[in-house]
Amino acid sequence: MKTAIYPGSFDPVTNGHIDVIERAAKLFTKVIVAVIRNPEKKSRFTLEQRVEMLKECLSGDKNVIVESFDGLLVDYARKKKANIIVRGLRAVSDFDYEFQMALTNRKMAPDIETLFFMTDYKYSYLSSSFVKQIAHFGGDVSELVPKAVAQKLKEA
């Protein structure tokens, strides 16, 4: 039984996130998509909306569950008995932050391993921030995010 945690802000979830989740779901018994409740970071969507959108987009994946968490990621991982943290890597620019985060987590919890998934080249440029900007100015995000998310971005 191998449980992996895929944590993030998911504000909102993009096709790049979905790609990582679906690939992880093929490797692990269970994947917990963990949406951070972060009151310090201003988010476009509420925690509930971010969780709801993910659930809607992932309803077909039987071994994937969506939850929210606050506090330290490693504490949450231990509580869930997960010893793998999954993160996606897009360009080299992600590396510094991800490296720092993985090493910080390893220092606190040497028993928990961070595994990186290389993005599919189709999504290497894709970020939630750009999606929000494009949608804000009326651009087309239909190829960047799941249908339900594109709809929510239009409504909001």
Counting contacts by CB under 6 A, is residue 119 touching ligand PNS? no
CA–CA dist 21, 32 (Å, integer): 9
9 binds ligand PNS per the rule CB under 6 A: yes
d(CA 25, CA 50): 20
Q: What is the DSSP letter of 137?
A: T
For residue 153, give Cα distances in angstroms to 9, 10, 18, 131. 16, 13, 17, 9
Choosing from 25, 73, 126, 131, the residue that interacts with ligand PNS (CB under 6 A) is 73
**CB contact at 8 A, 126 and 20:** no
Q: Within 32-71, which residues bind ligand PNS (CB under 6 A)? A: 36
Please indicate whether residue 136 is annotated as part of the active site.
no
Stretch that binds ligand PNS, among 2-10, 24-32, 53-61, 138-146 (CB under 6 A): 2-10
Q: Look up 2 and say whether it is catalytic.
A: no
User: Minimal distance in Å, beta carbon 133 to ligand PNS?
Assistant: 16
Q: Does residue 4 bind ligand PNS (CB under 6 A)?
A: no
17 among known catalytic residues: yes
Structural element, H or E, at residue 111: none
Is position 122 annotated as part of the catalytic site? Answer: no
**Catalytic site residue from 50, 87, 90, 132:** 90
Asked if 88 interacts with ligand PNS (CB under 6 A), we say no
Of 17, 10, 36, nearest to 86 by C-alpha is: 17
Helices (H), the chain: 15-27, 47-57, 73-79, 95-108, 128-136, 147-155
User: Does 72 engage in binding with ligand PNS (CB under 6 A)?
Assistant: yes
Query: Can you give the binding site for ligand PNS, defined by CB under 6 A?
Result: 7-9, 36, 72-73, 101, 104-105
Residues labelled catalytic: 17, 41, 90, 128
